């Protein structure tokens, strides 16, 4: 008894109090109008026409008052969006079997006129109706939300949160399955490659599941529609409700270090100095002495003042910085290995992403240039995701449209220029060739000069 009282108290707290009050008041008023109408009919049969007319008039006035005052209040608080749900129906194999058995019972009842068979037939038909009503209640009032990670890399398995919210005040939902609706024409990858099953969704509650998702290609993946499917309660009917929910996933190129990238990193690692202490003459900082330090670097005045040995660190004399460039030009013809321009450019984008991530892990000073983008020189951790967002949607320039990007690189003489290009050899200008590190796709490591 106490549990039922607490349940009613919770429902009353979550309910719309004015709406509930208007509902019960309208039920009471319409009940009184019904009694007056019945009394009017009885009075008319007894010959009391005046009493019958006045009773009927009062019943009409009460009904009109409910229609003018209470019905608009209830209509404003009715979630009409549930009525407009787009439902799809599909009869399962078990449903067809059940319908066939029902038809056999119906034929037997008609042929024999047996009341027991008619009673069994009515029960079978009521089960079908109950299945449709319960499945509609289970789907109604359920909202979907998809939470994707902020940074997504191609080929990397990540966790996506699928959340259902049951907005119904009194009824839970059972056996719900969330699926992604395939795009028209079969283009693009779905954000959910497998259904997500929710066995139970309590009323006024949210249930979240984390599912693995893998995107094989870079780019912007858009999912415009999902569907919530249920076969509750008997599995005879599969009912589906489409949910218009736009979910976008910007997938960065893969940054995993391949063998070709590892060989290239070994070759350029000695050419680019990291931003750490150097061997110059300018004082950088003071720190405590460690046994591996040279005695000639001890700062004796600071040691006497601090009471312990202090060592001088020097700043680097020549601070080299990295300018990473993705050449947007792609030749329209196939190369000697039969690779098309789009395939070569895709490989160049992946190489560029791997190189940028390599400098990010070492917190180097990095500047990036491409078609329509130029970042400022800053620590790689500040602009790495700006670079990856550009590389996620980068496209090659159209054939015949020559880019001026490489021609403008000569204006940056103080930067170590690292160029990733899908051009064939012999197409890079001589002055740029001798001041840059050029990565050709034919031979991934090609040193053309030192800056």
The DSSP line for 87-100 is EEEEE-HHHHHHHH
**Token representation of residue 205:** 């509650």
pLDDT of residue 344: 79
Burial letters 334-354, b for 16+ CB under 10 A, else e: eeeeeeebebbbbbbbbbbbb
pTM of the model: 0.65
First-residue to last-residue Cα distance in the chain: 85
Q: Are 223 and 247 in contact (CB under 8 A)?
A: yes
For residues 420 and 410, give the distance between their C-alpha atoms in angstroms, rounded to a whole number: 16
Task: Identify which of 272, 304, 302, 273 has the alpha carbon closest to the alpha carbon of residue 285.
Answer: 302
Instruction: Let me know the angle formed at the C-alpha of 164 by 162 and 170, rounded to the nearest 5 degrees.
Output: 165
Around Cβ 243, how many Cβ atoms within 10 Å?
17
Check whether the bond before 233 is cis (ω within 30° of 0): yes
What is the C-alpha separation between 222 and 146, in angstroms, rounded? 12
CA-to-CA distance for 231 and 359, rounded, in angstroms?
Answer: 53
Write out the chain's pLDDT in tens, 451 residues. 555 555 445 544 555 567 777 778 888 888 888 888 888 888 888 878 888 888 888 888 888 888 888 777 776 666 555 555 567 888 889 889 999 999 999 999 888 888 888 899 999 999 888 888 888 888 888 999 988 888 889 888 888 899 999 988 788 999 999 988 876 544 455 678 788 999 999 988 999 999 888 888 888 888 888 889 999 888 888 888 888 888 888 999 988 876 666 667 766 665 554 433 444 444 556 777 777 666 666 777 777 777 777 776 654 444 557 888 888 776 655 544 445 667 778 888 888 888 888 888 887 888 888 888 888 888 888 889 999 999 988 888 765 555 566 666 655 556 777 888 777 666 666 666 666 677 766 655 444 344 4
pLDDT of residue 104: 92
Phi, psi of 219 (to 5 degrees): 120, -175
What are the angstrom distances between the C-alpha of 100 and each of 93, 107, 228, 296, 441? 11, 11, 28, 98, 66
- Cβ–Cβ < 8 Å for 345, 422: yes
Judge whether 187 and 223 are in contact, CB under 8 Å.
no
């Amino acid at each position: 008894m106490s549990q039922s009282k607490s349940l009613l108290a919770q429902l009353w707290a979550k309910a719309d109090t004015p709406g509930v009050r208007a509902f019960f008041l309208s039920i009471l008023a319409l009940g009184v109008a019904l009694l007056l109408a019945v009394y009017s009919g009885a009075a008319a049969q007894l010959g009391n026409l005046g009493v019958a007319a006045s009773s009927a008039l009062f019943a009409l006035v009460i009904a009109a008052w409910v229609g003018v005052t209470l019905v608009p209040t209830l209509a404003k608080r009715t979630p009409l969006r549930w009525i407009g749900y787009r439902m799809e129906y599909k009869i399962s194999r078990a449903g067809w079997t059940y319908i066939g058995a029902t038809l056999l019972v119906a034929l037997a009842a008609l042929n024999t006129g047996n009341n027991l068979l008619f009673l069994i037939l009515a029960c079978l038909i009521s089960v079908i109706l109950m299945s449709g009503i319960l499945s509609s209640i289970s789907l109604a009032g359920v909202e979907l939300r998809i939470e994707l990670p902020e940074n997504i890399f191609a080929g990397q398995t990540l966790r996506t949160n699928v959340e259902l919210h049951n907005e119904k005040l009194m009824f839970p939902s059972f056996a719900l399955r969330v699926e992604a609706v395939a795009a028209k024409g079969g283009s693009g990858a779905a954000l959910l490659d497998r259904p997500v099953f929710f066995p139970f969704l309590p009323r006024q509650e949210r249930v979240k599941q984390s599912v693995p998702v893998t995107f094989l290609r870079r780019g912007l993946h858009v999912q415009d529609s999902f569907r919530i499917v249920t076969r509750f309660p008997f599995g005879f009917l599969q009912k589906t409700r489409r949910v218009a929910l736009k979910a976008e996933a910007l997938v960065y190129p893969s940054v995993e270090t391949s063998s070709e990238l590892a060989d290239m990193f070994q070759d350029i690692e000695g050419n680019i100095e990291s931003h750490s202490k150097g061997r110059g003459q300018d004082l950088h900082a003071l720190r405590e002495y460690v046994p591996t330090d040279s005695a000639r670097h001890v700062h004796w005045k600071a040691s006497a003042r601090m009471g312990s040995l202090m060592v001088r660190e020097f700043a680097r004399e020549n601070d080299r910085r990295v300018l990473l460039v993705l050449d947007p030009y792609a030749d329209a013809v196939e190369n000697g290995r039969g690779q098309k321009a789009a395939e070569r450019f895709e490989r160049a984008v992946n190489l560029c992403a791997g190189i940028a991530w390599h400098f990010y892990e070492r917190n180097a000073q990095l500047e990036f240039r491409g078609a329509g983008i130029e970042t400022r020189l800053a620590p790689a951790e500040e602009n790495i995701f700006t670079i990856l967002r550009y590389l996620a949607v980068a496209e090659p320039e159209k054939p015949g449209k020559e880019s001026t990007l490489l021609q403008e690189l000569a204006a940056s003489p103080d930067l170590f220029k690292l160029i990733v290009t899908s051009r064939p050899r012999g197409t890079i200008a001589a002055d740029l060739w001798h001041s840059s590190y050029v990565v050709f796709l034919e031979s991934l490591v090609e040193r053309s000069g030192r800056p």
